[in-house]
Structure 1
Amino acid sequence: MRLKCKKDYFCGMRKMYTVLVMILVVLSSCQPEFTKEEQAQLEQALSKAGGNKVELEKALEQAPEAHRKAVWFLIANMPERDLTSLTADFILENTKVAYQAREQFAWCKSLPDSLFFNDVLPYVSLNERRDNWRQDFLDRFTPLVADCANGFDVVDSVTQNINEVVKVEYNTKRRKADQSPYESMEQGMASCTGLSVLLTDALRAVGIPARIAGTPLWTNMRGNHSWVEVYLDGEWYFTEYYPDELNKSWFLADAGKADPENPIHGIYATSFKKTDLSYPCVWDESIEYIPAVNVTDRYIRLYQEQVMNTALEADELMVDFVVYKNEDTAKGDNRVSDRVEVWQGDKNIDFGYSPSTIDDLNKFLKFKLKKNSDYTIRYADGKGGQLEEKIKTGEKAELVKLYQESL
């Protein structure tokens, strides 16, 4: 009798355990999909959608569970023009094909959601027309990357062949700067912004995190430029529609002389996720809904590294420059970011911006100059005027300290 009771006891315990597991499963399925903050972001976005709210809600409801957070990300961060116009079918198709690439390509599968959501999933880069390009571009560019071993190989294959695939050339006779992929392909031409949109979309289609970067105005006042950045092995690199090697291009010397203190001369990269900055669109300065990040310092660093790594001729040396408010502030390392120009006679041979007080103490503005030569250094006095200092280089590398004020 005791054995039977013991058996009944364990049977009862097993049933109770089964019931508890079922209750836990039910409770876990009832947990909210989004955090309170995410839900608030979603509600704020939906409140701006007007009559199109039903389409956005439909996209959320019909998205497979594995894609729902991605759909939330798009809706929570898309600009108002898209909240009021994009259909559920457009959003769901874009998301489905993006996940198809994520499953298909190892370099995309390994990405964290944050990077995949912000730099692979988005259907747009700037203010261009919203084309449904993703499936078409996946089909067009997959043959180019099918045998690639890693993301570096993918970027190389796409950039080397995109011109042949889409049949678009650089031409300033294009109808407008901010062309969508198909607007450029219909004309067979685009300027740097349209070409960058094309390349960004092609790379995203095959699972490479990509975004547009550019400046509204070079510090040499020679206009603006747009290009593409790609994320590989933990860092961002730049490339172009007509590529050189990663992080190498004709424009690096100009980008490396960007002014970190002057927004119009800064370098910016796009973001789909909302930020505190707006990407500067020189073709329409009223546009303020494209999120951006300031990447000026990275381009200055890349250029300075390039200068350092370039072999010196026998008659050359490297000269470092730093600017202080006065000799007193130099003791506390209160450096000033200032435009420094190097002149020889009546010729301006180089310029750049000195490091500020928040930069590493080992960072200096570097110029490659001739040994045993006379130069005039011009820099701002911090009051709207300009100062000059004569220097004569020697045989060895040196550090030149400049002061805006005399004690």
Structure 2
Amino acid sequence: MRYFAHLFAILGVIFIGLAACQTTKETSAPDGLDLRIQKALTTAGENRSELEGALASVAEEQRDGLRFLIAYMPDRDLTQLSGKYLLKNLQWAYKAKGTFSWCKQLPDSVFFNEVLPYASLNERRDDWREDFYERFAPLVSNTEDIREAIKIINHAIMEEVKVKYSTARPKPDQSPYESMDCGLASCTGLSVLLTDAFRAVGIPSRIAGTPNWTTKEGNHNWNEVMVDGQWYFTEYYPSEGLDQGWFLADAGQADPTSKAHWIYASSFKPAQAYFPLVWDEKIHYVHAENVTERYIHLYQQAQKHQQVEEAGKVQLQLVMFKRQGCSMGDDRVAVPVKVYAGKELIFEGKTADAQKDMNDYLTGFVAEGATVAIQYTDAQGKLRQVQQVMNENQTLRLYYQ
């Protein structure tokens, strides 16, 4: 009897240990994921059966991804999105994860929040992922370098989707196919397109932006990508490299004490703030992180490098219009320009055309007090030259015709 009693005691300890392990496993989900899913299913109302059907049929290796999406989906999606839509999104996101080395290496927390989501802001929920995978995966299939993949997507997207920048777009918060159908988008629509293209090939991406610059009127949105655990900014019309762009000086002067002037980065799961949507300020379901300090730091670092190069210099910004009397919006043209001081070439480049943001100028620095000659060839093939004394920072309007 003592033997059996001892045996039962041992088995009891083992059983309790196993039960404890099982309980720990089930309750270790971040932020009470099980409770969030139950609440989400209740919120889904008549659409609950769609979500439950997806949970019942999802592939085991994709189950955690689906649970994440359902737990953090906005109410509008819980009540409207079909199980088929969610499962297809999962299928192609996990295909990217299994294909590209940079995505295979991602922690689940990054894959779930910055690759797997089917939307970034409040845009229409398009079924874009399979199409975008088939468009962009072949372009990056021969590289193992995520930086090279980012560069390839960045430089190929405009030709692939045939969308250009214009404030004449139907609305600011366009979905990918809304932009592609009309061929036009402003900064938000372009950012949605680029983030979806990155995510389609497993590159972690999110949308960043500010509801209001501190340096001038207006808002702006752009993209961020994660490389080796660190976020970098880029945009639909890329500069030479990551963390380079015309708007850095404006972003770097954001006010960290004012939410109206913060720099925000979108998040699918709840974060410290919500992303202010200037086209519909009542929407608070788009989550966001406050990344203002990072942009201030980036700008300060860039300033340190420039101070040595630009000591005793002033800034010259150039914008080229088709003709006199044109508007700032769609009447700008890209024309090669050279700026000389005497016989010395100070800087050169192309002016921004109507596809670029209206705050994007051809910019250079010249010695304070210098007289510069700005040279370009006009529409008639005639060499034009404009002279300007540079006693202060200036923005000059040039005319092509």
Q: Structure 1 length as normaliser, TM-score?
A: 0.70
CA 1:207–1:242 in structure 2 vs 1: closer, same or farther (change >3 Å)? same
1:335 alignment counterpart = none
1:16 alignment counterpart = none
How far 1:193 sits from its partner (Å)? Answer: 0.1
Match of 2:197 among 179, 202, 223: 202
Q: Residue 308 of structure 2 aligns to which amino acid in structure 1?
A: L
**Unmatched tracts of structure 1, length 5 or more:** 1-19, 318-367, 372-407
Q: Residue 281 of structure 1 aligns to which amino acid in structure 2?
A: L
2:382 alignment counterpart = none
CA 1:315–1:130 in structure 2 vs 1: closer, same or farther (change >3 Å)? closer
Deviation per residue, 1:348-379 (Å, 9 max, x gap)? xxxxxxxxxxxxxxxxxxxx9x99xxxxxxxx
**Which residues in structure 2 correspond to 1:144-159 (within 5 Å)?**
144-159=139-154
| Residue 123 of structure 2 corresponds to residue 128 of structure 1 | yes
CA 1:65–1:315 in structure 2 vs 1: closer, same or farther (change >3 Å)? closer
**Which residues in structure 2 correspond to 1:10-25 (within 5 Å)?**
none
| Residue 86 of structure 2 corresponds to residue 86 of structure 1 | no
Match of 2:295 among 295, 299, 303: 299
How far 1:185 sits from its partner (Å)? Answer: 0.3
How far 1:167 sits from its partner (Å)? Answer: 0.4
CA 1:314–1:140 in structure 2 vs 1: closer, same or farther (change >3 Å)? closer
2:95 alignment counterpart = 100
2:350 alignment counterpart = none
| Residue 46 of structure 2 corresponds to residue 61 of structure 1 | no
Deviation per residue, 1:267-313 (Å, 9 max, x gap)? 00000011231100001111100000000000000000000112525
Given that 2:272 and 2:290 are in contact with CA atoms closer than 8 Å, whether structure 1 keeps it comes out as no
Partners of 2:311 and 2:61 in 1: CA distance: 63
How far 1:59 sits from its partner (Å)? Answer: 1.0
Partners of 1:314 and 1:71 in 2: CA distance: 52
CA 1:84–1:211 in structure 2 vs 1: closer, same or farther (change >3 Å)? same
Task: Note the aligned Cα RMSD (angstroms).
Answer: 2.6
Q: Residue 303 of structure 2 aligns to which amino acid in structure 1?
A: V
Given that 2:100 and 2:144 are in contact with CA atoms closer than 8 Å, whether structure 1 keeps it comes out as no
Partners of 2:60 and 2:311 in 1: CA distance: 66
Aligned-partner SS, 1:230: strand
CA 1:314–1:305 in structure 2 vs 1: closer, same or farther (change >3 Å)? closer
Q: Residue 164 of structure 1 aligns to which amino acid in structure 2?
A: E
Deviation per residue, 1:74-114 (Å, 9 max, x gap)? 00001000000010000000011100000000010000000
CA 1:314–1:142 in structure 2 vs 1: closer, same or farther (change >3 Å)? closer
Partners of 2:59 and 2:202 in 1: CA distance: 20
- How many residues are treated as equivalent by the alignment? 300
**Unmatched tracts of structure 2, length 5 or more:** 1-13, 314-364, 369-401
Aligned-partner SS, 2:283: coil
2:386 alignment counterpart = none
Partners of 1:148 and 1:283 in 2: CA distance: 39
Partners of 1:300 and 1:271 in 2: CA distance: 21
Aligned-partner SS, 1:48: helix
User: Of the two, which has the highest radius of gyration?
Assistant: 1
1:385 alignment counterpart = none
Partners of 2:28 and 2:83 in 1: CA distance: 20
Aligned-partner SS, 1:289: coil
How far 1:143 sits from its partner (Å)? Answer: 1.5
1:243 alignment counterpart = 238
How far 1:315 sits from its partner (Å)? Answer: 5.0
| Residue 184 of structure 2 corresponds to residue 189 of structure 1 | yes
Which stretch has the larger CA shift, 52-61 or 198-207?
Answer: 52-61
Q: Residue 263 of structure 2 aligns to which amino acid in structure 1?
A: I
Give identity over the alignment, percent: 53
Partners of 1:230 and 1:130 in 2: CA distance: 21
How far 1:316 sits from its partner (Å)? Answer: 4.2
Which stretch has the larger CA shift, 267-276 or 75-84?
Answer: 267-276
Match of 2:269 among 253, 265, 273: 273
Q: Structure 2 length as normaliser, TM-score?
A: 0.71
How far 1:49 sits from its partner (Å)? Answer: 0.6
How far 1:44 sits from its partner (Å)? Answer: 1.3
| Residue 104 of structure 2 corresponds to residue 109 of structure 1 | yes
